[in-house]
Amino acid sequence: MLTTNPFDDDKLHEECGIFGIWGAEKAASFVALGLHALQHRGQEAAGITSFDGAHFHSHRAMGHVAGNFDRDDVIARLPGRTAIGHVRYSTTGETALRNVQPLFAELSDCGFAVAHNGNISNAMKLRRTLSRRGSIFQSTSDTEVIIHLVATSTQSTPLDRLIDALKQVEGAYSLLVLTEEGLIACRDPLGIRPLVMGKLGEATIFASETVAFDVIGATFIRDIEPGELVVVNDTGIRSFRPFEAAKPRPCIFEHVYFSRPDSVVDGTSVYEVRKNIGAELAREAPVEADIVVPVPDSGVPAALGFSQASGIPFELGIIRSHYVGRTFIQPSQEVRNLGVKLKHNANSALIAGKRVVLIDDSIVRGTTSLKIVQMMRDAGAREVHFRIASPPTKHSCFYGVDTPERAKLLAAQMSVEQMRDYINADSLAFISIDGLYRALGESRDSLQPQRCDACFTGEYPTTLTDAEESASGAALSLVASR
Amino acid sequence: MLTTNPFDDDKLHEECGIFGIWGAEKAASFVALGLHALQHRGQEAAGITSFDGAHFHSHRAMGHVAGNFDRDDVIARLPGRTAIGHVRYSTTGETALRNVQPLFAELSDCGFAVAHNGNISNAMKLRRTLSRRGSIFQSTSDTEVIIHLVATSTQSTPLDRLIDALKQVEGAYSLLVLTEEGLIACRDPLGIRPLVMGKLGEATIFASETVAFDVIGATFIRDIEPGELVVVNDTGIRSFRPFEAAKPRPCIFEHVYFSRPDSVVDGTSVYEVRKNIGAELAREAPVEADIVVPVPDSGVPAALGFSQASGIPFELGIIRSHYVGRTFIQPSQEVRNLGVKLKHNANSALIAGKRVVLIDDSIVRGTTSLKIVQMMRDAGAREVHFRIASPPTKHSCFYGVDTPERAKLLAAQMSVEQMRDYINADSLAFISIDGLYRALGESRDSLQPQRCDACFTGEYPTTLTDAEESASGAALSLVASR
Amino acid sequence: MLTTNPFDDDKLHEECGIFGIWGAEKAASFVALGLHALQHRGQEAAGITSFDGAHFHSHRAMGHVAGNFDRDDVIARLPGRTAIGHVRYSTTGETALRNVQPLFAELSDCGFAVAHNGNISNAMKLRRTLSRRGSIFQSTSDTEVIIHLVATSTQSTPLDRLIDALKQVEGAYSLLVLTEEGLIACRDPLGIRPLVMGKLGEATIFASETVAFDVIGATFIRDIEPGELVVVNDTGIRSFRPFEAAKPRPCIFEHVYFSRPDSVVDGTSVYEVRKNIGAELAREAPVEADIVVPVPDSGVPAALGFSQASGIPFELGIIRSHYVGRTFIQPSQEVRNLGVKLKHNANSALIAGKRVVLIDDSIVRGTTSLKIVQMMRDAGAREVHFRIASPPTKHSCFYGVDTPERAKLLAAQMSVEQMRDYINADSLAFISIDGLYRALGESRDSLQPQRCDACFTGEYPTTLTDAEESASGAALSLVASR
Amino acid sequence: MLTTNPFDDDKLHEECGIFGIWGAEKAASFVALGLHALQHRGQEAAGITSFDGAHFHSHRAMGHVAGNFDRDDVIARLPGRTAIGHVRYSTTGETALRNVQPLFAELSDCGFAVAHNGNISNAMKLRRTLSRRGSIFQSTSDTEVIIHLVATSTQSTPLDRLIDALKQVEGAYSLLVLTEEGLIACRDPLGIRPLVMGKLGEATIFASETVAFDVIGATFIRDIEPGELVVVNDTGIRSFRPFEAAKPRPCIFEHVYFSRPDSVVDGTSVYEVRKNIGAELAREAPVEADIVVPVPDSGVPAALGFSQASGIPFELGIIRSHYVGRTFIQPSQEVRNLGVKLKHNANSALIAGKRVVLIDDSIVRGTTSLKIVQMMRDAGAREVHFRIASPPTKHSCFYGVDTPERAKLLAAQMSVEQMRDYINADSLAFISIDGLYRALGESRDSLQPQRCDACFTGEYPTTLTDAEESASGAALSLVASR
């Protein structure tokens, strides 16, 4: 069986994208468009919850936004001038649909819908405590812990109950919460995951990335700040900062791979940063070659940067198929390396006889890199040099990014030279961590880095309660008997 | 309602791709992979017919190859060492599935399956004659005419009956025919549509394009020549040339847009030709500008050629979404031009303040061009110059390409200056017909052109019986009362 | 695996029901209701073709009428004041849907839709001849032969071409044919299968049984006579008798089992005839017993007749489930005879200690009878006497009734005493062939019987060309290489 | 739009059936068969939860048992030697599937699955209290209240926590509860809804009715007694009686309509009781007539009893279709009363000129009765006398039976004479409440009736907290903002 996945298996994946709007007719139709533009952050399930002034309405589905939320009848069942939505990477098993967000609960005195990008790193501990007191969990999602903390809080208003709940959680969260009293957007004290605020006419909008504003013609206003809660309702917009101040640590990988190149993250063009990384890489690890070839599509901006800085021509040496599918029957042993050919094909007429610099954004397991190098050699490349637009990925992420366990991260197991040998390249180089910060226009503060770069450095900005308990013997699974 | 289509509506489309194999275990699984690689030629329906030595087996379905032909159970129901397959662009209505190929008929003494790329330009006239004699048509496909001509032929062998039939048809056809006695590949006397032959171990393979060989690791042998029939069975490969000799006229648009850039067509790299067109265009219609921006994805090679020839940097100023869908509810009038933004988004941080050269492969209706120029202006472009990698498309195709009626072809209605004004560009230029031939390394023979370039010049290489009858009053429709 | 089928597997089955209407708005909606009432004649597929004065419209589907033809959108796509419909028993394989009727063909000068109840007994021979001349068959249905004979007829009007075709076929057919020129109803010269004519306001209606008139409140007018063609259009109703006169032989099994008890067939109430059979059986084969128990539901009228004639009380000793399904996993060997219990359950409180007379309409394979007797014994019956409301079924039907091959007909293999022993009853008796005719108010003419009773007597009223050729070595299958 | 429903709309409906088994391989396959036999108690959704010694497994689906639980793959995903199942009448809206039982919750120290037949009459009050303490409800089902009471109970064992919970609820419940420690069956202190215990080899079985034992060949042991909890696990069977003793009040309507005629309820054959009711009715309300005709199928046993007691012949004057569907397009105004004809048709040949006694089990809204009488008159009946095998249904049920609101109960609005006039019968009579008890072999104790007969008498055996609060102004809906 040969596999081609819509997402490249051999990448880290952002697990979620969120979008919310207050104050527009047919709010759900804007959310559908916004989620469509955020699917690179999670394309396997989507949901929208709207509030029409009296009732909450939800629709959640496995699959793409188009096909589920481009239908008149679905949008018509989501009436109201405010709505929030969520796309997610992956969820499996019988409880799959239950884990699709927004999660909604009818609390004793209010409805409460939440869409969450991030990961609560003490969710299992909190869940055990809540369960012992009689709370019944319906999903395996860490997000549900927040709802039960709100439901059992002794504070009086929904906002105070939410703050009470968030003070008990640790980890990464950008949240959109919809209640009868308004739409609440908030970002964890370190601002690990992104969240931006925009405006379209009178309506206020929140999204994971600015591309979701472009698709509906909305204007970017500002980032939600780390530790900030913004409450929007018909009386206006109010901002709260209930948490202790902390130095922000936004995720650096948003610039390397997660965000779309046409997004502006933390005030910086993603495309520009990626080109800078390519240029920096050309300076840090130059090579004599005939053509610069991106591994499509994510390697393209860095390859352009590398080409412009080095003067080596940029060429499309690998063609990517528009058509994807899960598995094809493998006809025979003769057909080797077919997985990558279904998705990628060498432009042999171009490659034959050339010295090639391949540019990719990262190496995770290394399986794709291995096949791509071989494909270049089969196409007649004289030399194959691999340049990577990020430092070696050596550590798992506990903040809402789908990472393989450490044992499967190539860079956690091998030196750069061993990796070069493994993927069979003539040379291999990664950008340095300092080079990466330079591409962002910063000089890395090695005591208190300006970003979360734990996947490269192992320097996690929060405690990791569940992971530590798990390492010391406690059960990790949220679902004991399912 | 806003629409994004998997295919760009504002392009000409090849209507079919075909693939066949003789002499491999699990032949259908190779066909599935080959068709997967040919879906840019037709992605809306697919079918495979196999022959296991005793019985024919068929599966045909609306939709992509993946999802229909990547399943074990489907392939298992298509046993045998030979099989042919077909992907097609579009077919509608109750008879939709009946029009999906391969078509199969149980003739009196043999089974007969056919996959056809092209269009029979006297199909309606032949159909009327056959119908009057008692033949009953089940589809609206011109291909079915071939089968009835074979069924009613008085020749004795299947091959002779096929030749007898083909001598009565006019137009464009690359055919794969599967009978108990072997696999037959053939190409019309002018070779309008492409067809190549390859080899994988002992197996012989035919396909519309060489990329279908790459996906299974097969080797390209040669083009099927115009007017040639190749018969493969266990006794070997034989070639026949039953038609009168004629000067070949292969379709030039295969190089402009239809074929994949990594294919080699008529011995020439499609990618290289497209870069040549871009370079030629830079010479024919130079412009002072800051950046060269391709309309993704088809404009990329020509844009690289233009950039390299002009020295103006190549940049990704338009980002294309990986996610497509049919229709989204339009939330409000405020949201203008949303159709194109769902698919394309301006990289505003890059575009702002720049003089931009946009490169696209062709202009058909002009609707997309209009939106793209506006998108560049909204993103802050100082000037927008449009360069097109083909001559103005002024005439319909009657040889198997989906063209709008002439009245909807922008170039059939307007001069270049009127078109520039309509799409609101600062300048607009198309490559000349001679420049296009130069990019192919040829000098156009204006008396007997080396290619079919009728869509640009109106010089059709065959008579067009049905079209002429229709123009003179006879009914055009194949389906009078459905 | 345990099976319960919507239809009892252990019965003969009528294979088709047909319904047509001329001259009513929304004709297709009447056809849908009529077909709904005819589903006991064929419940596994259904189709309707309508004609709106300009175009023919068809919808055909596997499954029940409800679920396919009770939907607004389906009926809306079948416009017109005339329409015909068909329900059928069973059709399998890839060609399944192609065999669902009405069949429709676009002939050279007219559209031609046909719905057929019956079976052409020289279809294979005709098919071979037509195929040799170049006709291409799309289904495996014998009905398609009629269409090709019409298509290749040299007669001029559709009616004359139909008559020309029917003169070449042998066997049983009640047909409804829809053309641009009118609706044609016809019945084969022996009138083997039924066909009745009715009226609702100005509209003329045809159906297999009168129950289809009841459901729409229409009035029964008369039977279509054997060998008659009735043509209805806006100019009126005309009757034709193009065939040689013959003594009619309508199917006697319609009275035994096929027709609904509330239908009137050949001027006789089916319910009354079945009660007469039960009474006759009580006289021919009396028994001392405590209760008369019908095998539901088909045995009920005969059981009432038996009870009234014998004075033994009628009781519901077997309860039939309203819920049916195809297969359930068999949990273990302990669970014996479960197939019949899913559908039938003994009313044990009633049965215990009683001498029971079971009444069923027929015995085909005997598998159900065997289980039912055992079920009675398990429930504590003291004696079990089986009485059958038809003579032993010893011969296959070639006229449109689904019969097992002779080797599987219990009565073809065993004497009555052997059958009694096999099903383990204390006594077993069948009504005599003469008793059956008496129940119909007739005295059987043993030289020229008034009915087709070949399934009991082997006296087939027509030649059986295909069956005879097959017996003498020619291939039986219509589909050689599928 | 005309409607035929699988269930007759004009009946009261039992809302649920339950089935459980402990100690058999492939327990779920037995549950599937048991539920199949209980679908007359609820056919619109079904679910099974199994426990394999380590994990709980659930599958729940809208629709019939066959089609959902007759599939190998579904049963294979429900492993284990113990399982419980549930069929239910109806559930609607977005939360539909959440309301399908068994409900399952992962409590802090155990899994807890519950299947419930009945209705908790103080569910809304309990729900408000639990919600205020932080419990989050996922369904609108009253059954979920039980689970939250168990989850928040301070008792230590699952059994003690269940008893603690049940002591707080009022109303009707037959429950099956599956935990890691065993299978618990229990019945409310008044035993309003039925629950029986049986045995198959070593396995212990519980079901709503004995017919579910018949289908798998299991043996009936005894009724679970009112107020009894039975716990089964591998250590044996234990019985508990934690509630205050009370005089039982089992539902009398089980005998009138809910239970299948082949079930034995409270030690009495349902079929026998229904025949007794018919005979009693013949004595209480005799009539001169020619034939006794049951309204199929529920009126059949009482009609047999009436016929045997009166000597008037029993005849099938109304034929019921095996085929049901939701809605058909109504072709025109001419087609009157079509709804009932789709399901029922008069056997006109029999009815014409006769004086008819119609027997039905009950009259709820009267809509069907009205149509049936008219159908008899249209068929030519000379007189139509209606006899009803239950007293007038005047009061709603709050114990798990789907009753229309009182205003729609015909008998709550009209006298018997007014009803006779409304349905246009020549005479109308209901059995008396005392006659009904006589048919059961009892003399009604008017102070403390032996049965719950509140639907006829209004004498409810429990307080009705929610209904009373609702009448006094509190909100009735369980779902304020959905």
Give the pLDDT confidence of C31-48 residue by residue, as tens digits.
999 999 999 998 889 999
Q: Is D349 on the interface with C (CB under 8 A)?
A: yes
> How much is the average pLDDT of C270-294?
98
Q: What is the pLDDT of residue D91?
A: 54
Place of tokens 């067509």: B265
Residue C186 assigned as binding residue: no
Neighboring chain C residues of D29 at a CB cutoff of 8 Å: 328-331
Touching B: A residues 43-82, CB under 8 Å: 43, 64-67, 69-70, 72, 75
The stretches in chain A having pLDDT less than 50 are 1-7, 92-94, 474-482
Chains with 3+ CB–CB pairs under 8 A to D are A, C
C1 confidence band (pLDDT: 50, 70, 90): very low
Q: Is D120 on the interface with C (CB under 8 A)?
A: no
Q: What is the pLDDT of residue B407?
A: 85
Residue B110 assigned as binding residue: no
Q: How far off is chain D from C416, nearest CA to CA, in Å?
A: 31
Cα Rg of chain B (Å, integer): 23
Q: Which class is D264-457 in CATH?
A: alpha beta
Q: How far off is chain D from A57, nearest CA to CA, in Å?
A: 7
Q: How far off is chain D from A86, nearest CA to CA, in Å?
A: 18
Touching A: B residues 178-207, CB under 8 Å: 200-201
**Burial environment of residue B262 by CB neighbours within 10 A (0 to 12, 13 to 18, 19 or more):** buried
Residue D334 DSSP code: T
The mean pLDDT value of chain C amounts to: 90
Long-range CB contacts for residues B266-269, cutoff 8 Å, separation at least 24:
B266/B194, B266/B223, B267/B223, B268/B440, B268/B441, B269/A347, B269/A349, B269/A350
Place of tokens 């995770």: A364
Neighboring chain C residues of D259 at a CB cutoff of 8 Å: none
C402 confidence band (pLDDT: 50, 70, 90): confident
**Burial environment of residue B49 by CB neighbours within 10 A (0 to 12, 13 to 18, 19 or more):** buried
Q: Where does B300-354 show beta strands of DSSP type E?
A: 318-320, 327-328, 344-346
Angle at A55 between CA A51 and CA A56, to 5 degrees: 50
Give residue C164's identity as a one-letter amino acid code: D
Write down the catalytic residue from A10, A11, A15, A16.
A16
The stretches in chain B having pLDDT less than 70 are 1-9, 90-96, 324-340, 473-482
Please, which residues have CB within 8 angstroms of residue D309's CB and are 6 or more apart in sequence? D278, D279, D282, D283
Q: Which two tokens stand for residue A349?
A: 């007429």
Nearest to C251 by CA among C117, C66, C125: C117
**Burial environment of residue B53 by CB neighbours within 10 A (0 to 12, 13 to 18, 19 or more):** exposed
Q: How far off is chain C from D350, nearest CA to CA, in Å?
A: 8
Neighboring chain C residues of D261 at a CB cutoff of 8 Å: 316, 319, 347
The stretches in chain D having pLDDT less than 50 are 1-7, 92-94, 474-482
Q: How far off is chain D from C221, nearest CA to CA, in Å?
A: 15
Place of tokens 């009488």: D373
Which comes out higher in pLDDT, residue C159 or B7? Answer: C159
Distance of alpha carbon C186 from alpha carbon C118, whole angstroms:
12
Decide if B481 and C111 are in contact by the 8 Å CB cutoff.
yes
**pLDDT per residue as tens digits for the range D422-467:** 999 999 999 999 999 999 999 999 999 999 999 999 999 999 999 8
Q: Is C154 on the interface with B (CB under 8 A)?
A: no
Reported pTM:
0.85
Distance of alpha carbon B17 from alpha carbon B40, whole angstroms:
8
Coil vs helix vs strand at A2: strand
Neighboring chain A residues of B349 at a CB cutoff of 8 Å: 262, 264, 269, 271-272
D414 torsion bin: left (phi>0), alpha (psi -120 to 50), beta (else): beta
**Interface with A, mutate which of B271, B308, B314, B336 (most A CBs under 10 A):** B271
Judging by DSSP bridges, how do beta strands C291-294 and C355-360 pair with one another? Answer: parallel
Neighboring chain C residues of D267 at a CB cutoff of 8 Å: none
Residue A452 assigned as binding residue: yes
For residue B398, list its beta bridge partners. Answer: none
> How much is the average pLDDT of C385-409?
91
Of A36, A75, A338, nearest to B323 by CB-CB distance is: A36
**pLDDT per residue as tens digits for the range B303-315:** 999 999 999 999 9
Distance of alpha carbon D401 from alpha carbon C446, whole angstroms:
61
Neighboring chain A residues of B215 at a CB cutoff of 8 Å: 338, 341-342, 345
Q: What is the pLDDT of residue B476?
A: 39
Decide if B133 and C152 are in contact by the 8 Å CB cutoff.
yes
Touching D: C residues 267-296, CB under 8 Å: 269, 271-272
Chains with 3+ CB–CB pairs under 8 A to A are B, D
Nearest to B15 by CA among B119, B101, B88: B88
Q: Is C326 on the interface with D (CB under 8 A)?
A: yes
Place of tokens 């990008």: A117
Nearest to D315 by CA among C82, A159, C308, C155: C308
- Return the CATH number of the domain spanning residue range C273-452: 3.40.50.2020
With contact defined as beta carbons under 8 Å apart, do D69 and D35 qualify?
yes
> How much is the average pLDDT of C444-450?
95
**Interface with A, mutate which of B82, B262, B326, B340 (most A CBs under 10 A):** B262
Distance of alpha carbon B415 from alpha carbon D187, whole angstroms:
87
Neighboring chain B residues of C132 at a CB cutoff of 8 Å: 108
Residue D420 DSSP code: H
Q: Which two tokens stand for residue D334?
A: 């001419």
Q: Which class is C2-249 in CATH?
A: alpha beta
- Return the CATH number of the domain spanning residue range A269-321+336-450: 3.40.50.2020
- Structural domain spans, chain C: 2-249, 273-452
Q: What is the pLDDT of residue D138?
A: 85
Active site residue D16: yes
Decide if C65 and D260 are in contact by the 8 Å CB cutoff.
no
The domain at B269-451 falls in which architecture?
Answer: 3-Layer(aba) Sandwich (3.40)
Decide if C321 and D37 are in contact by the 8 Å CB cutoff.
yes
Decide if A482 and D56 are in contact by the 8 Å CB cutoff.
yes
Nearest to B66 by CA among D471, A321, D344, C320: A321
Touching A: B residues 216-255, CB under 8 Å: 216-217
Q: Is C132 on the interface with B (CB under 8 A)?
A: yes
Q: Is D135 on the interface with A (CB under 8 A)?
A: yes
Neighboring chain D residues of A135 at a CB cutoff of 8 Å: 134-136, 151
Distance of alpha carbon B124 from alpha carbon B136, whole angstroms:
14
Chains with 3+ CB–CB pairs under 8 A to C are B, D
Neighboring chain D residues of C338 at a CB cutoff of 8 Å: 33, 215-217
C:D CB pairs within 8 Å: 197
Place of tokens 């048991």: D34
Q: What is the pLDDT of residue B101?
A: 93
For residue A128, what is the nearest residue in chain D, using CA coordinates?
A: D108
Q: What is the pLDDT of residue B340?
A: 62
Of B261, B316, B323, nearest to A300 by CB-CB distance is: B316
Would you list which residues of D are annotated within the binding site for Mg(2+)? 298, 360-361
**pLDDT per residue as tens digits for the range B337-389:** 566 677 889 999 999 999 999 999 999 999 889 999 999 999 999 999 999 99
Q: Is C450 on the interface with D (CB under 8 A)?
A: no
**What b/e string do you get for D332-368 counting C-beta neighbours within 10 Å, with b at 16 or more?**
beebeebbbbbbbbbbbbbbeebbbbbbbbbbbbbbb
Residue C434 assigned as binding residue: no
Q: Which CA distances in Å does C303 have to C7, D101, D316? A: 20, 42, 12
Distance of alpha carbon C298 from alpha carbon C274, whole angstroms:
10
Q: Which CA distances in Å does A318 have to A299, B264, D139? A: 11, 15, 52
**Interface with D, mutate which of A99, A104, A108 (most D CBs under 10 A):** A108
Q: How far off is chain A from B299, nearest CA to CA, in Å?
A: 12
Same fold, B2-249 and B269-451: no
Chains with 3+ CB–CB pairs under 8 A to B are A, C
Q: What is the pLDDT of residue B361?
A: 95
Chain centre distance of CA C143? 16
B and D make contact (3+ CB pairs below 8 Å): no
> How much is the average pLDDT of C40-60?
94
10 Å Cβ neighbour count for A283? Answer: 13
For residue A72, what is the nearest residue in chain B, using CA coordinates?
A: B329
Distance of alpha carbon C293 from alpha carbon C306, whole angstroms:
10
Distance of alpha carbon D279 from alpha carbon D265, whole angstroms:
20
> Selecting from 3.30.499.10, 3.30.420.250, 2.30.130.10, 3.60.20.10, what CATH number does the domain D2-248 have?
3.60.20.10
Distance of alpha carbon A133 from alpha carbon B114, whole angstroms:
70
Residue C313 backbone phi and psi in degrees, to 5:
-60, 140
Q: What is the pLDDT of residue A307?
A: 98
Starting at the edge strand that comes first in sequence, how are the strands of the sheet with D16-22 ordered?
A: D56-62, D45-51, D82-88, D16-22, D203-207, D196-200, D219-223
